[in-house]
Amino acid sequence: MDLVGLLKSQFLCHLVFCYVFIASGLIVNTIQLLTLLLWPINKQLFRKINCRLSYCVSSQLVLLLEWWSGTECVIYTDPQAYPKYGKENAIVVLNHKFEIDFLCGWSLAERFGVLGGSKVLAKKELAYVPIIGWMWYFTEMVFCTRKWEQDRKTVSKSLLHLRDYPEKYFFLIHCEGTRFTEKKHQISMQVAQAKGLPSLKHHLLPRTKGFAVTVRSLRNVVSAVYDCTLNFRNNENPTLLGVLNGKKYHADLYVRRIPLEEVPEDEAECSAWLHKLYQEKDAFQEEYARTGTFPETPMVPPRRPWTLVNWLFWASLLLYPFFRFLVNMVSSGSSLTLAGVILLFFVASMGVRWMIGVTEIDKGSAYGNMDNKQKHSD
């Protein structure tokens, strides 16, 4: 390991990133709370401001991937479709196999300049989590309980609110509902067999109802579906901890632009269309496993400087008082104070590990448990 790599793996560096993220995130959340005064006066101004405030937070995670770890993502796509990316609203369908696939989706949105306004379909519990969850609440993220009887009306209502959203956005959706594991895959394929659906080798059975209501609610506002199939070279198994340690990964992303007019409006036909899409995605993954490449032309969208500029702004604003506080505590000479500093670092360490732990694949949803087997339906 070289000197730079050794430095990136040190906990003190991780602590700096964690501190800047938490402190700036809480400041952003406070400003977002104040912008509520704008909602009854000028809703679109409220949205534009919160779109940019959201970027202040989410771009810090993209910075870790693009600038800190240096991970580069090669996009394989049709050169005629490429100029439209970032110039239109789109539903982005991502496979869900890796710990950092959500981060690669955000990186895609950042490369095309739509990260601040981009949306996801997130668990309702996340709306109560400080920083990310609160940020999502103010940017009108779509939350669900994963119980379709409860979600049908609330999800549709939230999506309809996005029809007049003033900023371009990607609506990122993992139709599989949870990350791929062998246990989940085995149970998913049992469901597929029971329903008479073709087996998938590299994906779980997609949940079609959420996708269908998304298409129906955003039709004539969203121009296309971007079918995105992600993989990593040399059988790399990327993790968020690896990114935080500065490890560079090599991602390949196959992006197909499908005009929304080609997606059926009828729910049953839309469901069949999505199942066919996942069969095609499975074939692409199988081809990648055999050849190490995807179809179409490889391209690398330029890395924009704004994630780095944003982080440097917050770091210059927040790090000086933080380090001065630590120096004053250590120089006081008090045993109690020194114990407090050690406790602070211990708690920070546990906090970093907890934030990373919730992204680990084996700590995902309860999908795949035997008592969930009967509940897995479209």
Both tokens assigned to 53: 């405030």
Report pLDDT for 346. Answer: 66
With a pLDDT cut of 70, the percent of the chain lying above it is 88
For the stretch 330-361, pLDDT in tens is 677 677 776 776 676 666 656 555 555 444 43
pLDDT band at 132 (very low <50, low <70, confident <90, very high): confident
For the stretch 157-177, pLDDT in tens is 999 999 999 999 999 999 998
Average pLDDT of the chain is: 87
Whether the pLDDT of residue 372 is over 60: the answer is: no
Report pLDDT for 367. Answer: 45
- The helix/strand/coil state of 152 is helix
In DSSP notation, 93-130 reads EE---STTHHHHHHHHHHHTT-TTT-EEEEEGGGGGST
Report pLDDT for 369. Answer: 44
List C-alpha distances in Å: 331 to 217, 325, 335, 345, 351. Answer: 60, 10, 11, 17, 26
For the stretch 168-205, pLDDT in tens is 999 999 999 888 889 999 999 999 999 999 899 999 99
Report pLDDT for 67. Answer: 95
Q: What share of the chain is helix, strand, coil (3-state, %, to 5)?
A: 60, 10, 30
pLDDT band at 123 (very low <50, low <70, confident <90, very high): confident
- Average pLDDT value for residue range 31-53: 96
Report pLDDT for 359. Answer: 42
**Selection from 60, 53, 66 nearest residue 17 by Cα:** 60
- Average pLDDT value for residue range 4-29: 87
Whether the pLDDT of residue 313 is over 80: the answer is: yes
Whether the pLDDT of residue 319 is over 80: the answer is: yes
The Cα–Cα gap between 162 and 13 comes to: 39
Report pLDDT for 370. Answer: 39
Residues linked to residue 265 through DSSP beta bridges, in sequence order: none
pLDDT band at 228 (very low <50, low <70, confident <90, very high): very high
- Average pLDDT value for residue range 82-101: 94
Report pLDDT for 149. Answer: 77
- Average pLDDT value for residue range 140-169: 88
Burial classification of residue 190, based on how many CB atoms lie within 10 Å of its CB (0-12 exposed, 13-18 middle, 19 or more buried) = middle
